[in-house]
Amino acid sequence: MRPGDTVRPGSAEEVAAVVRECYARRLPLVPLGAGTGFARGHETTGAEVVVDLGGLDRVRSFDPLLWRMEAEAGVALRTVQRLARENGLHFPVDPGAAELSHVGGAVATNAGGPHTFKYGSMRAWVLGLEAVLAPGELVRIGGPVRKDVAGYDLVSLLCGSEGTLGIVTAAWLRLAPAPAGSWPVVARAADAAALQAGVEQALASGVTPSALEFLDATSARAAGREGPMLIAEADGGEHERDALVEAIGGAPADPAELWRWREGVAYAVEALEGAKLSEDVCVPVDRLAELLDGHAGIAARHGLTPAAWGHAGDGNVHATFCHAPGDAARAERAAQDLFALAIDLGGTITGEHGIGLAKAGWLERQWPPAAVAAQEAIKRTLDPLGLLNPGKKAARPTGSRASA
């Protein structure tokens, strides 16, 4: 192995051997899933060994009657979803690229999606993990057990750690019975204030919507629809749909048609001006309108077209700056203002995409110094040579990190 090489292990034991060799030879490494992440978490400088986990593509076990599956890191989420569906079950984690993205990447980023509002992020569906820890030890933590408080929650620590604390090779996943159906309700929302009011009305409906999404006028128009709009989905029955209709004043929509064009929104927005920068800031729900209005203001100041859509019920906005293909730097500068706004509103710079390189260094603006220090101490103690996905998820700008 040399820097710049891509290796494709065929088993967890082979991943452990790669990490052992990298650790012995002080070679940095970058784990690679499907490569669908938005935060540049799988980007390489050419100096690392890329560990392509696509060869770990076996479903090791599937017990539909026990609501569980053990899947290797390279299994596509769509495979998990399909197997569940074919057996009357449900795996509700559906990030934007669910067709392509892998179990390992979804664990590494703690992936979300529209149905996170009711069902939680990836972590909520992981019972246990198999992972390689530095300097090359294959461990299993948890397993097909639904409750376990014996050790510190290393499963959660690895979920969302973006390959900087270990490399996930397999996950035991929890499944649930399929919901009764999908009954989306669509309502118009004149502006950001009306949108936030609509979200709060949905929360007061007595129903937990399975998704509570929104699109602003620009992103709706990109998809050939009229916006801005609020989408509240019920999945428990028609009585839930009726409660949502009454709460938000909307009308039922065809679920298959709705989710088909909704999933294409990111690409449709990209086509508006040829390129876009799309973030995933997240704020308390009662700050949603301020975030949306502030995002529009930032875009205006930078001479960019704003578009926004996403997971309104979670306060999680894909705040986007449309730009010409050659104009990425301006969008990057606008994104910095957006991150600062999200933090000012008591929110987070990332609700579901992660830090990667895209937001590296920003955590120290969001967290108090002692929490940043705890994160850095954990990184140093679990990856003492700093070889696991270097530079990713960094809490402080490179160069400012205190030495160990």
Q: How far is the CB of 382 from a second copy (least distance, A)?
A: 6
What does the block give as tokens for 324?
């010409």
Q: By three-state DSSP, how is residue 306 classified? A: strand
What is the residue whose two structure tokens read 């770990």? Answer: 56
Q: 136: alpha, beta or left, given left = phi > 0 and alpha = psi -120 to 50? A: left
Q: Give 323 or 393: the residue with its C-beta nearer to a second copy.
A: 393
Query: What letters, b where the CB count within 10 A reaches 16 and e where it falls short, cover 150-160?
Result: eeeebbeebbb
Question: What gap in Å lies between CA 404 and CA 401, rounded to an integer?
Answer: 9
One-letter amino acid for residue 128 of the chain: G
Give 207's contacts (C-beta < 8 A, 6+ positions apart).
Answer: 234, 236, 240, 243, 244, 247
Q: Give 177 or 274: the residue with its C-beta nearer to a second copy.
A: 177
Q: Give 5 or 153: the residue with its C-beta nearer to a second copy.
A: 153
Q: 200 and 313 in contact (C-beta within 8 Å)?
A: no
Alpha helices of 31-112 — where are they, by DSSP H? 77-86, 103-109
DSSP of 93-153: ---TTTTT-BHHHHHHHT---TTHHHH--GGGGEEEEEEEETTTEEEEE--S-S---SS--
Residues composing the chain: 404
Q: How far is the CB of 277 from a second copy (least distance, A)?
A: 18
Least Cα distance to 359 among 374, 349, 347 occurs for 349
Distances (CA, A) of 207 to 64, 90, 113: 28, 20, 19
Q: How far is the CB of 343 from a second copy (least distance, A)?
A: 9
Q: Give 110 or 218: the residue with its C-beta nearer to a second copy.
A: 110
Q: Give 99 or 137: the residue with its C-beta nearer to a second copy.
A: 137
Q: Give 236 or 386: the residue with its C-beta nearer to a second copy.
A: 236
Q: Give 81 or 116: the residue with its C-beta nearer to a second copy.
A: 116
Q: How far is the CB of 165 from a second copy (least distance, A)?
A: 7
Q: How far is the CB of 79 from a second copy (least distance, A)?
A: 22
Q: Give 322 or 394: the residue with its C-beta nearer to a second copy.
A: 394
